Chain A
Amino acid sequence: MGPIIVVVEMQSDAMSPASAELLSRARQLARAQSTRVVALGFGEAARGALGSSGADDAFLAAGADAYVPTQAEAALRQVLQETAAGLVLLPNTTMGMDLGAATAAAEGRPMVAYATSLAAVEGGAFKATSQVYGGKLVAEVAVPEGSVVTVLPGSWPADEAVSGTTPVRDLVVAGESPMELVRTIEPDTGDVDITRADVLVSVGRGIQDPDNLELADELAEALGAVVSCSRPVVDAGWLPRARQVGKSGQTVKPKLYLALGISGAPEHLQGMKDSEIIVAINSDPTAPIFEVAHYGATCDILELMPILTERLGGAD
């Protein structure tokens, strides 16, 4: 079998945790299938991370330091053509969504997204499980040799220590890019930093109406907490982005995460599942949030919030 390609993503000048997780599993799978691990990174900033990635070989597509989808795709396709890859692994992040599906389609390779486990099977193939339908179902998928798989961050641990130095080869990508980077935008932390709060009152779609946010504000005040939210609340324009927990928002680990009207889509769970205590209130007893929550209830959050606020001595 050809090598296992791991596409490495950088985060604040270091390899992202999701990329380290992929490399870790790739080394195990490569041993099982008697093949090598080849890492691919983008931009000069990735050179150091590739050198200490634990991969057998690495390619560095230099050029812009920031990620540019078209350039990255051209680089990945070039690596696949040069190496006859037996498996291609990417984190299921923005980069993975850009490159995974496009590369699979362009190169005629099968694709499996949202994977949470990946194992080798005899004969050079693999088996994955993926979260589908908002985490309500799991798909067990036969992954043929040559497939592209995007893996949800946090699906398995990364190896603590990696020894040795990986040789890094510079990759020259031919052709003009139709897409240019205009600017990078650093996160706006807004008026509060939700990653520093001990207690978060986090609201989701179940809040139903922006007027109901006042109930969450009053509860948060009574609790000495900060209000955060899931993605749909930000997309509706009800709370600023700085308050968003999840894949495209902040990762939080408060002492208490009170999830109100949040169903628990995989993208949200990714940002809060390591909270010390999770209490979830959601009217749907089958909501995935209850799988990570320590305590749960299915009562009406709009009834619960004022009662709780009053019991805590607030908003009288």
Chain B
Amino acid sequence: MRIAVLVKDVPDLVEELELDESGRGLAVDDLSYVPSEWDDQALEEALLLKEASGAHVSAVALDTGDVDNMLYTALAKGADRAVKLVGDYDRTLPGRQRARILADYLAGAGYDLVMTGVQAVDDLDGQIAGLLGGMLGWPHASVVRDVAVDSGAVRFVQEYAGGRMAEFRSSTPLVLGVQAAKKPPRYVPIARIRQVSRSAALEEVEAGGSPSESLAAIERLYRPEAQGHATMWDGDAEQVAAALVALLDEQHLRS
């Protein structure tokens, strides 16, 4: 089974999200970026599949910024190959166009299974797994866990609201948007990533230009006007504990 895991980085939500002058986008050069957490889950699930059934795992990233470290990290974790799709685009590339470039690459790359994060914090114009499924005409499913290889086909579990789930079996090629891996994503020390970056090479593939896609235009990006906001208790943990106990007493919620 040949697996492609699509990884990307996203703005770090722990940091303040600065807007650009137009008010329609982020000040992309002023932000710090982290690997999208769901892509990490997809990579982990792919590596677990490799360990269980001998799959060949390629980490694939579109070079919209500094993706080398993310790809070396995937290799250090156990991916067999790292592919960087290079072309003339940057971090402002809309998700829909990103999907088209990825779809054009994946269509002829011979993968059986494409795995990526179920969503990303910036996928306003559609989640990548669904977009790829639609563009490639391949079966696809989102919010997926417990992926397994089964006689050339793929089994997986899809999650729904309220804890309900269903198990499916699908032929390949197949695109899955992974919610969670069977185990928490593995950790690799930075020294190991550095070592890999010196010894391993990223495979660069020339990808197409920015394609035209039907897009819905963002007219304004802004911080939510709080419909309400919590009454904040100032002070240290002792003072907050006192306020909380007073609230419990007032509401008769002490057992």
Contact = CB atoms under 8 A, between A and B. Distances in A.
Nearest to A258: B244
A56 B151 CA distance: 46
A249 to B, nearest CB: 6
B65 interface: no
A120 interface: no
A133 B11 contact: yes
Contacts of A134: 13, 121
Contact of A291 (B177, B180, B229, B233): B229
B221 A137 contact: yes
Interface residues of B, number: 90
Interface string A88-122: 00000111011111111111111111100000000
A70 interface: yes
A139 B24 CA distance: 8
Interface in B97-140: 99, 118-119, 121-135, 137, 139-140
Interface stretch (A26-34, A38-46, A165-173, A301-309): A301-309
Nearest to B10: A133
Given A277-B251, A294-B230, A130 B13 contact: no
A195 B4 CA distance: 39
Main secondary structure of the interface of A (DSSP, over half): mixed
A124 B132 CA distance: 29
A141 B118 contact: no
Interface residues of A, number: 107
A179 B141 contact: yes
A99 B143 CA distance: 12
A230 B96 CA distance: 29
Given A94-B159, A294-B230, A284 B14 contact: yes
B124 A139 contact: yes
The winner among B122, B168, B179, B217 for most chain A CB atoms within 10 A is B168
B17 A111 contact: no
A98 B180 CA distance: 16
Nearest to B118: A97
Given A97-B142, A255-B253, A103 B134 contact: yes
Contacts of A98: 130, 140-143
Contacts of A179: 139, 141, 168-171
A110 B137 CA distance: 17
A108 B231 contact: no
B187 interface: no
A68 B121 contact: no
B237 A247 contact: no
B219 interface: yes
Contacts of B73: none
Nearest to A98: B142
Nearest to B223: A137
Nearest to B234: A297
Contacts of B180: 234-235
B233 to A, nearest CB: 4
Contacts of A128: 216
B52 to A, nearest CB: 17
A69 B140 contact: yes
A258 to B, nearest CB: 8
The winner among B126, B135, B165, B216 for most chain A CB atoms within 10 A is B216
Contacts of A1: none
Contact of A106 (B135, B171, B221, B232): B135
B142 A94 contact: yes
B22 interface: no
A143 interface: yes
A208 interface: no
B189 interface: no
Interface string B158-170: 1111111111111
A66 to B, nearest CB: 6
Given A141-B219, A180-B168, A236-B184, A308 B139 contact: no
A35 interface: no
A174 interface: no
Given A98-B141, A102-B131, A106-B134, A111 B96 contact: yes
B163 to A, nearest CB: 3
Interface of B: 11, 13-14, 16-17, 41, 96, 99, 118-119, 121-135, 137, 139-143, 155, 157-171, 174, 177, 179-181, 183-184, 214-224, 226-238, 240-245, 247-248, 251, 253-255
Given A69-B158, A294-B230, A297-B235, 8 more contacts: A94-B142, A97-B119, A97-B143, A106-B137, A183-B166, A185-B166, A297-B233, A304-B241
Interface of A: 11, 16, 66-70, 73, 93-95, 97-114, 127-128, 130-144, 147, 153, 178-188, 198-199, 222-225, 234-237, 241-242, 244, 247-251, 255-256, 258, 263, 277-281, 284-286, 288, 290-300, 303-304, 307-308, 311-312
